[in-house]
């Protein structure tokens, strides 16, 4: 299967987030799955649209009350 990989800036744009927000989410473990392309802390990071879409789907809510109940 051929995958299209997105760099951090492309993934952030796809998600309509700032690059910094995506970096913070990666650091805290609250963002979508990603691939680290080396052992160095500044190594390239890649995302797939499938992983981003799956992460977004997990956060799909119908109301603010539903979101509040999930976060407890």
Q: Which CATH number fits domain 5-70: 1.10.1660, 1.10.10, 1.20.58, 1.10.287?
A: 1.10.1660
Question: pTM of the entire structure?
Answer: 0.80
52 CB-near residues (< 8 Å, 6+ apart): 6, 11, 14, 15, 32
The residues facing 47 across adjacent strands are 6
Ranges in the chain, pLDDT < 70: 1-2, 67-72
pLDDT in the model for residue 12: 97
């Amino acid at each position: 299967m051929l995958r299209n990989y997105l760099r951090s800036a492309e993934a952030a744009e796809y998600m309509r987030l700032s690059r910094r927000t995506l970096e913070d989410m990666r650091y805290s473990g609250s963002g979508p799955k990603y691939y680290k392309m080396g052992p160095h802390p500044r190594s390239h990071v890649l995302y797939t649209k499938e992983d981003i879409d799956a992460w977004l789907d997990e956060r799909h809510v119908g109301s603010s009350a539903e979101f509040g109940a999930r976060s407890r």
